[in-house]
Structure 1
Amino acid sequence: MINYDGRRFRPAEAEARGRVAVYHQEGDLVWGEFSGGRVRRGALTGTRAPDDTLEFAYSMVLDDGEIVSGRCRSTPEFREDGGVDLHEEWERFGPHAATGRSRINEIRDDTSDDTREQR
């Protein structure tokens, strides 16, 4: 079983670089906070299933003041370096309702783009 507590993730999409999410876990309860890019502040809360998938609701405030909320299901994929990538299927509610898929990659100190650039 994956323990998501303390893991950091960033979107795989280049246009969303700069956004970082930090996850926390207590039992099957998972929550997190994220910011960066166009997101001033965001939060997620949900649960981890026995197969390590995550189901959660999220909300965020964008840099233009827009408030966005939705739900997401994240399926983990293990990397060779021990990191975890999450494949997301999301649904956004409200006036800008949409559905989509995305991927977020765990930031590992020894493999992150930022660390490679500093070396």
Structure 2
Amino acid sequence: MSIDYNGRRFRALGVHGGTCAEYSQRDDLVWAVFEGGHIRRGTVTGTCDDRGVLRLAYTMVLETGEVISGHSTNTPRRVGGTLVLHEVWERYGEHAARGVSYLEEVPAEPGEVAR
């Protein structure tokens, strides 16, 4: 599944409002910026392979001032017509943890061009 992530937006599956990341892509390089909820600002940067799998490093600053960093591998799949990323993540350092999350593509607003 070849995917162009440029201009796509994603949020935690089933969560409306809150944190939303808008992705940019040039060739295999992918990056995004996000904020909202308890996150003051966050970024991800990484690569995308021919199947649309993202390998990303991330950092974020929480409202508490804590800085969190880690990496994730996000595998795309279509669920009922929606692009969903199955995200396997790991945090480093003082906040070390591992887990799985799901991110769903945010539909285009009225007047925007849907991808």
TM-score above 0.5: yes
Q: Which runs of 4+ in 1 moved over 2 A?
A: none
> Which structure 1 segments of 5+ residues have no match?
111-119
Deviation at 1:96, TM superposition (A): 1.2
The reply on whether 1:35 has 2:32 as its aligned counterpart is no
- Corresponding residue of 2:24: 24
Q: Is the 8 A contact 1:11 1:17 kept in 2?
A: no
Structure 2 gaps of 5+ residues are 110-115
Aligned residues: 108
Identity %: 45
1:17: Cα distance to partner?
A: 4.8
The structure whose residues are more often helix, as a share, is 1
Instruction: Kindly provide the amino acid, as one letter, of the partner of residue 46 in structure 1.
Output: G
Q: Displacement of 1:80 after TM fit?
A: 3.7
Task: Give me the TM-score of the superposition, normalised by structure 1.
Answer: 0.85
Q: Aligned Cα RMSD in Å?
A: 1.5
Question: Match of 1:33, as an amino acid?
Answer: V
The alpha carbon displacement at 1:63 in A equals: 0.4
